[in-house]
Structure formats: C-alpha cells, structure tokens
Structure 1
C-alpha cells in the first residue's frame, strides 16, 4: 500500500508541475524574423489551441486561420509562437488583442545584420512533432540579447497561489482541531467504555462459570 500511495503522490506532483509549467507566463528574449497567417490543421492537438468561440473561424476541413510569429533566440535556434485570442477559457489571460499584437510584432521584425531584440511573454509549450506552439501574450523591445526581464507575473501568481493554499491549510487545521479531533477523541472514549464494559461482563461471566464448576465438583 505504501508504494501505491507514493506513486499517487509522485503522479500528483508531476501533474501539478506540468499544469503550472504550461499555464504560467514565461519570458523569452528573441529576434522576430516573420509574422504571418496560416491555415492550420486542428485535430487531436485542439486542446492546445484557443476555443472556436474566441473569434477564430474554423472551416469544415478542421483548418483554422492562425497567426504566427517566427523568432530566433540569441543562440541562433528558431522558436515559433502562435498568436490567438484566449477569451474566457483557461488559462485566464483574457486576451482579445491578437490583431494589435500581430501589428506590433510585425513592426519589430529585424534581420541578423541589424538585429532588434524583444522580450515575448507567452504561455504553453513548443512541441514540433505535435504542432503545438506557445501563445504569445505581449511583446516589448529590450536593449540586447543578454537582457532577461524578471518574470514578475509568474512570481505574483505563485505567491497568490501559495497564500491561497496556506489559507486552505489553516482552515483545514482549525476545522480538524474543532470538529474532527474532538469527534475522534469522543469515539475513542466511547470505544474504551464499551471495551471496559465488555471486559467486566466477561469477568462476571467467568466468575459465575467458575463458581458453578466448583459447586459441581463439590457435590
């Protein structure tokens, strides 16, 4: 049983880590090389795209016109973002300005000969073989490729979540001290009384049987 509980604990921890890693905002310093729209096949990976009711039209073939932002990292590796409104779905970024973000990203395009570096805030993962792209939330210029803006949004969200979990833990402890622990103590005391009565009844029964047996032998 212990190994099973350990497995459940590890599985829960990994699930929470992956959930937070996908949902929390991240910042990358990159150089924008291209911005464009593309008809994209939405199939089994639809969970990693915005809902259809956020303003994006999807045709009968399951294709959707999605905005993309091509970038290059300081180490020369490419990194591609999608640019979709999120609406009210999870994660709750309430993004409705993908057109404005597309225009801003287009204005910040640069070449390797005259690079202009930007910090893009996004959430999600980039998985090439599943055609999964992080969703860009904001973009702003930075001084150079070595600039790494501090990720205040993720820190604030984690602090709020930690405070919320601490409050739940405190409420649970108070509920346990006021309700569960007294009930358990009362149940233990009741069980002890029942056990004591059973022992006394057993002793009385044994005494009666002993007296009956001694009386029978004395005849």
Structure 2
C-alpha cells in the first residue's frame, strides 16, 4: 500500500537517536516497503524503526501481507473461473456456429464451382 509519509523527519531523528557505539551495540528493526535495486540505486522507504534484542531477532509473521495476497489470489481465481464459464457458455457456441456457417457456405461454393466446370 502507498504510505503517505508526513513524518519522515521524525523517523530520521528517531533513527539518529538509536545510533549506538561499537562497544555497546543496539539493534533495531526497520520496517520498510519497496525493493532494493542496485542498478537504479533505489532504496526501500522506511516506515518505522524499533529496538530489538539482537541481530537474530525474528521479524514476526507478516499477517497483513498474507491476508492481502490470499485475497488477491482468490480474486484472480474468481475472475478466471467466471471468464472460463462465460467463454464456454457464450463465446464457444458462437464460434462453433460461425464455423458451421462458413463450412456450409464453402461447401455450397465448392458445389457451385464444380457444377460450373462440368458445363
């Protein structure tokens, strides 16, 4: 989701306050969105900073991401199923009817042409 960040300076100040010395390290977890792209030098946008116990602290389970992706997959599946039903019920019979009409007209034309050649 787009984050309309109006508190960027506050987040920068908070991150600067959490800077620690090498002797007594303080670890933080940065919540961000976006991806790191080395070619275009794009960096993820930071949303929040929080103190954690150590460098191996678990990030937790991203329940919101799981729910959003599951709902999106269900929506795509529902649209796909409805399209297949629509195609099977409306488009395929129309195409078959058109193919039959074309075959019939080609057959009549072939019979007409064959009759013209014999004369």
TM-score range, shorter chain: 0.7 to 0.9
CA deviation after TM superposition for structure 1 residue 130, in Å = 5.3
- Tell me whether 1:174 sits opposite 2:90 in the alignment: no
Match of 2:15 in 1: 105
CA deviation after TM superposition for structure 1 residue 196, in Å = 1.9
Q: Distance in 2 between matches of 1:116 and 1:145?
A: 9
How does 1:1-219 map onto structure 2 within 5 Å? 92-122=2-32, 123-125=34-36, 127=38, 131-150=41-60, 152=62, 153-206=64-117, 208-209=118-119
* CA offset digits 1:56-89 (Å, max 9, x no partner): xxxxxxxxxxxxxxxxxxxxxxxxxxxxxxxxxx
Higher share in strand:
1
CA deviation after TM superposition for structure 1 residue 193, in Å = 1.1
Q: Give the number of equivalent residue pairs.
A: 117
What is the CA RMSD across the aligned residues, in angstroms?
2.6
Stretches of structure 2 that go unaligned for 5 or more consecutive residues are none
CA deviation after TM superposition for structure 1 residue 162, in Å = 2.2
| Distance change (3 Å), C-alpha of 1:130 and 1:195 | closer
CA deviation after TM superposition for structure 1 residue 100, in Å = 3.2
Q: Distance in 1 between matches of 2:60 and 2:75?
A: 23
Higher share in helix:
2
TM-score, with normalisation over the residues of structure 1? 0.45
Stretches of structure 1 that go unaligned for 5 or more consecutive residues are 1-90, 210-219
Higher relative contact order (CA 8 A, sep 6+): 1
